[in-house]
Structure 1
Amino acid sequence: MIGENVTMKAYYHLPGLFEFYDFYKEFLSLWQNHREFFYDWCEIGSIYGAPADALWGGGRVGFGDANATKVAQLLREYNISARLTFSNSKLRKEHLSDYVCNKLCEIFEENGQTTETSDVQEVQNNTGAVKSSRAQNGVIIHSDLLLDYLKEKYPSLYFVSSTTKVLTDFKDLEAEVIRDDFKFVVPDFRLNKSFDKLGKLEQKYKDKLEFLCNECCYFGCTDRKACYENVSLKALGETEEDHICKAPNSKTGYRFSDAMKNPGFISLDDIQNVYMPMGFSQFKIEGRSLGSAIVLEFLLYYMVKPEYQLRVREEMYLDSSLDLF
């Protein structure tokens, strides 16, 4: 049986914090009330995203419009870490005072853990009863300028080094993962299968690596960094031009079936039988620029037992409050 000897947990980091608020409101209810639907070896490590008007946004142009306070409170209710995707690579000093992004940091710091401990821990209240503490919230970040600013102003947030840095040289990844600034580091997906080098890392560094599982970008792409920089400039209002992708099949858009053929793709079997036995536990699912229907397919594939996938799909699609697209 797949993964029968695996005793550790896998933590998934899911897309669409602001983009799919209504979707997660229903999905997290299933997650909490019907854990028998889901693999018992997996957990939700975080949900990440950014609203459409976030100046510090990067990676993908945000289109989320959910109310930030409602979003923060929803994840606080389920003790799940929220991550702000502030991976803009083109920020300058004058951008640090942006009201919207600072306000977002205030809201998520207020609604998250205020001590540097594990994401979710058990604490005793005054009566001696055990209850769960809040999950610590974080920021996915590219710019060291922004990192220094946030460390000083919002010390209760943790930081994730963004895959938008496009660190394709393993030595650069090693240098990044040893930095104390980052709780997690997301490697470029081209390094996902560098097992000979990954396997030699100390466990404390393996614990920090968060692998991007379902990237559809062309494995041989040489324009990935330029694409991210274009998104950053658009967020700052400094360009209206889109980056023109020259990769094969770029005109077809994202397809999960194509992502599965990518040499960097990490399958469910890979997670259970390769990565977890090697000591890796953090896995990121991309998709905040996609529709909620395809995000559901990602969650079904990676988290839901086969015999319950139709049940979960029905629960989500037949919910009258949702309009999956």
Structure 2
Amino acid sequence: MKQTTQKTVYYHLPGLFEFYELYELFLPLFRKHREYFYDWCEIGSIYGAPADCIWGGGRIGDGEHSAQEVLHLMQEYGISTRLTFSNSLLQEEHLSDKKCNTLCTLFEKGGTVQNGVIVHSDLLLAYLKRQYPGLYLVSSTTKVLTEFEQFRDELKRDDFRYVVPDFRLNKRFEDLHTLTDEEKAKVEFLCNECCWFGCKERKVCYEDVSRKALGIKAPDHRCMAPESEQGYRFSKAMSNPGFIGVDAIKDVYLPMGFSNFKIEGRGLGSALVLEFVLYYMTKPEYQIHVREAIYLDNMLDLF
């Protein structure tokens, strides 16, 4: 099969609202000292949502900066933003939520770079297409599409510019090779998932987050995966069978025709998100320069 000539990797980074202070420091550094970073990678988007959005789903973060401040910073550096509205349990009455609609209105009109929404619910999908046609749409990994044919069908939907598969499809190379160039351009792999590869309750976990966003009272979901009490560990993610490392991105996925990669981390600390940026985007000999530039500014919350 003919391979694409695309030679640039686009990373989709977490914490649009949650890690404003980190990006306020990092983005000027990324622009001013481009030599610190791999020349084959760019920032495709930064995603997130305020914690009190009922359309929200996935991993809930937080942030103190206004939507206008966030959008202004991203516009200044020409970066696409994505609102993470991946709640899977939305009903018709939730579509009129004022805050979520206000955010969509603001981000639809924001700047010369098109912004998007990460979505799970087909009900919300139809509403967004009707009310905010200027926003592009991304199919959320919270759908937990673990069967490759489900994923292929999702790629065929014209509704979505990108589709994020379940991380357990990341190494299905025999099937991935069968995708067309157009389908490959829509694939956005989740690189650094720490979740147990054999987990059967991933969708239940996401539904628990969706209920919380909607204020629905229910017993908390308790993850029973091995060593789940340790929380996220990048070292643990690196040993996950679904992990996609920087060398694999450059030497395996990019030559195959895949160029979009999502870094998770909205619910993690800014120091750990910085480690992701260092690992995936920064040349090893310059990682200390980036660390110093960020850490020596006491705005970064290390805890």
For the aligned pair, the TM-score class normalised by the smaller chain equals over 0.9
Cross-structure match for 2:255 = 277
Aligned residues with identical type, % of pairs: 66
In structure 1, give the amino acid aligned to 2:168.
Answer: R
User: Could you tell me which residue of structure 1 aligns to residue 77 of structure 2?
Assistant: 78
User: Which residue of 1 is the match for residue 277 of structure 2?
Assistant: 299
Q: What corresponds to 2:97 in structure 1?
A: 98
Q: Equivalents in 2 of 1:61, 1:279: separation in Å?
A: 32
Q: Deviations over 1:233-254 (max 9, x none)?
A: 0000002532100000100000
- Shift, 1:97, TM fit: 0.3
Q: Does 1:207 align with 2:206?
A: no
1:150 aligns with 2:149: no
Query: How high is the TM-score relative to the length of structure 2?
Result: 0.97
Aligned-pair CA distance for 1:186: 0.1
The alignment partner of 1:59 has SS state of coil
1:161 to 139, 151, 156: 139
Query: Offset at 1:107?
Result: 1.0
Contact residue 142 and residue 161 of structure 1 kept, 8 A: yes
Unaligned runs of 5+ in 1: 1-5, 113-133
CA–CA separation in structure 1 for the residues paired with 2:60 and 2:35? 36
The residue number in structure 2 matching 1:230 is 208
1:172 match: 150
How many residues get paired?
Answer: 299
Partner of 2:237: 259
Contact 1:19 1:51 (8 Å CA) reproduced: yes
The RMSD of aligned alpha carbons is: 1.1
Counterpart Cα distance in 2 of 1:320 and 1:221: 38
Amino acid at match of 1:18: F
Answer whether contact 2:58 2:206 (CA < 8 A) is retained: yes
In the other structure, the counterpart of 2:114 is 136
Q: Do the aligned partners of 2:15 and 2:61 also contact (CA within 8 Å) in 1?
A: no
What letter is aligned with 2:299? S
Alignment TM-score, normalising by the size of structure 1: 0.90
Question: SS state of the match for residue 283, structure 1?
Answer: strand
User: Is the contact made by 2:269 and 2:301 (CA closer than 8 Å) also made in structure 1?
Assistant: no
**Corresponding position of 2:170:** 192
Q: Match of 1:117?
A: none
**Counterpart in the other structure of 2:107:** 108
Q: Deviations over 1:267-306 (max 9, x none)?
A: 0111011100100000000001000000000000000000
Which residue is 1:48 aligned to? 47
The aligned counterpart of 1:220 is 198
| Displaced runs of 4 or more, over 6 A | none
What is the deviation of 1:7? 6.5
Contact residue 52 and residue 65 of structure 1 kept, 8 A: no
Q: Pick the aligned partner of 1:288 from 256, 263, 266.
A: 266
Instruction: Please tell me whether the aligned partners of residues 142 and 162 of structure 1 are also in contact (alpha carbons under 8 angstroms).
Output: yes
Deviation at 1:13, TM superposition (A): 0.2
Contact 2:171/2:242 (CA < 8 Å) preserved in 1?
yes
Q: Secondary structure at the match of 2:11?
A: strand
What amino acid is the match of 1:30? L
Matched residue, 2:300: 322
Bigger mean CA deviation after superposition, 184-193 or 311-320: 311-320
8 Å contact from structure 1 (residues 51, 66) kept in 2: no
Counterpart residue type for residue 225 of structure 1: K
Counterpart Cα distance in 2 of 1:165 and 1:61 = 16
SS in 2 for 1:89: coil
Q: Deviations over 1:103-153 (max 9, x none)?
A: 1101111114xxxxxxxxxxxxxxxxxxxxx21100000001001101111
Structure 2 CA distance for aligned equivalents of residues 103 and 185 of structure 1: 25
- 1:99 partner amino acid: K
- Provide the rounded CA distance (Å) in 1 between the counterparts of 2:63 and 2:120: 20
**1:60 match:** 59
Runs of 5+ unmatched residues, structure 2: none
1 CA distance for matches of 2:120 and 2:299?
A: 36
Deviation, structure 1 residue 60 = 1.3
